[in-house]
Amino acid sequence: MVFRGKCLFHLFVKSKPGKYGIKLWVAADAKNFYACNMQVIHWQEWWIREKKQDFRVVKYMVCHTYGTGRGVTSDNFLTSCELANFLQSKNGTVVGTLRKNKPEISALFLSGKQRNVHSSTIGFPMI
């Protein structure tokens, strides 16, 4: 859907069909589709490179679930081993994919040519 309104904090995203829009971080309940927490991304935040933005965003978005034993499912931008360790300390879990360029990934998981077809490798974090 293309954004056609007037707003002070809309963003220009070159790669999208509708070039202008509003970008949000949303934490939603998967069972009843209820948005539990939302944060609007301002254009100032969009252009500034921030280290560990993923960790900061997820910490803020799921702070209401600390101690409840609930799990967080995220995409490859937000998933990290640091996040998994933090949520485990708060009695929570995380499910997501990791990007290949994360420094904490073991070489065992990156070498796909040595494994058989349709095989899996499972690892557990060392805490």
Count of residues for the chain? 127
**SS3 per-residue string spanning 64-79:** HHCCCCCEEEECCCCC
Specify whether 55 is located in the same domain as 110.
yes
Reply yes or no on whether the pLDDT at 97 is more than 60: yes
Give the residue from 48, 47, 43 showing the smallest Cα distance to 21: 43
Specify whether 36 is located in the same domain as 67.
no
Specify whether 2 is located in the same domain as 35.
yes
Reply yes or no on whether the pLDDT at 44 is more than 60: no
Q: 59-81: per-residue pLDDT in tens?
A: 888 888 888 888 888 888 888 88
Residue 81 CA to residue 115 CA, distance in Å, equals 23
Q: Who wins on pLDDT, 2 or 64?
A: 64
Range of the domain at 28: 1-48
**Would you place residue 47 in the very low, low, confident or very high pLDDT band (cuts 50, 70, 90)?**
low
Report the pLDDT value the prediction gives residue 48, as an integer from 0 to 100: 64
Report for 36-50, 65-79, 104-118: range of highest mean pLDDT:
65-79
- Average pLDDT along the chain: 78
Reply yes or no on whether the pLDDT at 46 is more than 60: no
Specify whether 62 is located in the same domain as 104.
yes
Lowest mean pLDDT of 6-10, 89-93, 109-113, name the range.
109-113
Does the residue 125 lie in any domain?
no
Report the pLDDT value the prediction gives residue 49, as an integer from 0 to 100: 67
Reply yes or no on whether the pLDDT at 125 is more than 60: no
How many domains is the chain built from? 2
Contact between residue 81 and residue 102 where contact means Cβ atoms under 8 Å apart = yes
